[in-house]
Structure 1
């Protein structure tokens, strides 16, 4: 190896070693922050799992506001996935037979509820990520109120979906959809708690 490259190689190796040494500490701090924040939620283990996986594809949240926005984004993604799942069930439901067609109607209603919920959660995540102003200011409180309203509306949509499935849907289909929607409702409930903890005093 030419002598002139030796110092450069040494500098690169030192930089890589420093980054490797700092990364675990950084990740541990982020994980601790998520775990401590999730203790306030109704489903803390679900909260930790969903937000820890979120941090794998983007910078981990470091503040209550960033954490709330991440939770809203996770909720929107889960709602979208549940909507796609219900959509496949709805599309596959036979419509020729009268009973099957009637059974599919609550599933289609659930699909509409989930689609509304996805929109509400996306709006909430976007609002949380935008210019909300200084914490405690009237503008900040107004934006935060919007986020809380949309998140609550998404929870209502999810609950309405589940209520509708109790009428005219066979047990297997009801159980399959319920499993997906309950998961969405849990992450959405957690997101609302984290949203409520944004601002002065937290």
Structure 2
């Protein structure tokens, strides 16, 4: 029996990631590796070849989610005319991602104890986005002069938590937070 080509293997890997993300978003932590394989149209061995444990699969799905948030932040949020608007864009996207994928958020949280990025290139790039927003906001006067990247990520985390758990109106909280971070 011949081995699949590298292109086939990569297509299978991406299909498994896509299906896993959908299933986790729909059904949360009850999804098993065999279900992912069936839904992706591959054998369970293929899933385990790419993702030797469920934790590795969840980590890859989380990384893909964070990469999507990063791309959105770079393409849609950072170009905003002032840092407050850019931060509002990022907070909104974070809330939407967690609202649309509550099950996935639950899986990530159950696996790692948090839904925050776990470092790496994407995590570092997201921190750099926050640092850029804080610096721009202090410079353009749209954010308080004492705002830090830690403040911004506390706000992002709070909006995500409210959205993920459907606690109150996360959009109102976003607006109140932006008002609290605004300069004078």
TM-score calculated relative to the size of structure 2: 0.33
Give 1 or 2 for the bigger CA radius of gyration. 1
TM-score calculated relative to the size of structure 1: 0.30
